Amino acid sequence: MPDLAPFHPWIVFAHVLGVFVFLVFHGVSVAVLFRVRAERDPQALRTLLDLSTWSFGGMTIGAAVWFFSGLLAGFSGNYWTTGRYWLWVSLAVAVVVIGLMTPLGRTYLGRVRAAVGIDEKTGKYDPALPVEPAQIEAAVSSGKPMLVAAIGFGGIAILAWLMMFKPF
C-alpha cells in the first residue's frame, strides 16, 4: 500500500464529513420515528414514512464515506498495526450499534407501513390493502423510539470518545 501519511488530515476530514452527512440524514429517520408515535392519520403517516425512506439514500452515502475513510484513516495513521486497539473497538461498537438499531427501527416502521397500506415489496401505497384504525394504533404503539435513540446516541458518544481520546 502506498504511503498515505501525508494525506491523513484529509482522510480524517472526509471521515468526519461522512459522519456529519450520515447523522443529518439519519436524523430525519429518527425524527420520523418519534413523530409517528403521535400520528394516527394514514395519509400523514404515509408522508412521514416516505420522508424516512427518502433519507435512506443520503444516509447510505454518508455511512459509506464514514466507513471507508475510517478504514483508510486507520492505514494512513498507522493505527491498525501499532497496538492501537481503540480503532478495533470503534469498528466493533459501530457494528453492534448498527446491528441493534437497524432491526429495531426497520421492524417498527415496517409494521406502520403495512398498517397504512404501503406494499412491502414496492414501497408504494396500495389502495387495495386494508387500512384499519385498530391496526394503525397497534402498529404505531408497538415501537420503542427512546430505546433506538439511546442506542444510537450512546454509540455515537462512545465512538467520539474513542476517536478523540484514543484511550488504548
Question: Whole-model pTM?
Answer: 0.89
List all residues 6 or more positions away from 129 whose beta carbon is below 8 Å from its beta carbon: 114, 117, 118, 119
Instruction: Assign 83 a pLDDT band (cuts: 50, 70, 90).
Output: confident
All 3 cell numbers of residue 13?
Answer: 476530514
Domain ranges for the chain: 5-165
Any idea what DSSP says for residue 118? B
Instruction: Assign 1 a pLDDT band (cuts: 50, 70, 90).
Output: confident
pLDDT tens per residue, range 13-69? 999 999 999 999 999 999 999 999 999 999 999 999 999 999 999 999 999 999 999
Collapsed DSSP state (helix, strand, coil) of residue 127 = coil
Mean pLDDT of the chain: 95
d(CA 105, CA 145): 8
Say what the pLDDT of residue 2 is: 86
Closest CA to 56 of 26, 86, 83, 11: 26
> Residues 74-84: what's their mean pLDDT?
88
Q: 1 or 40: whose pLDDT is higher?
A: 40
Instruction: Classify burial at 37, counting beta carbons within 10 Å of its beta carbon; exposed 0-12, middle 13-18, buried 19 or more.
Output: middle
Closest CA to 41 of 147, 168, 159, 131: 131
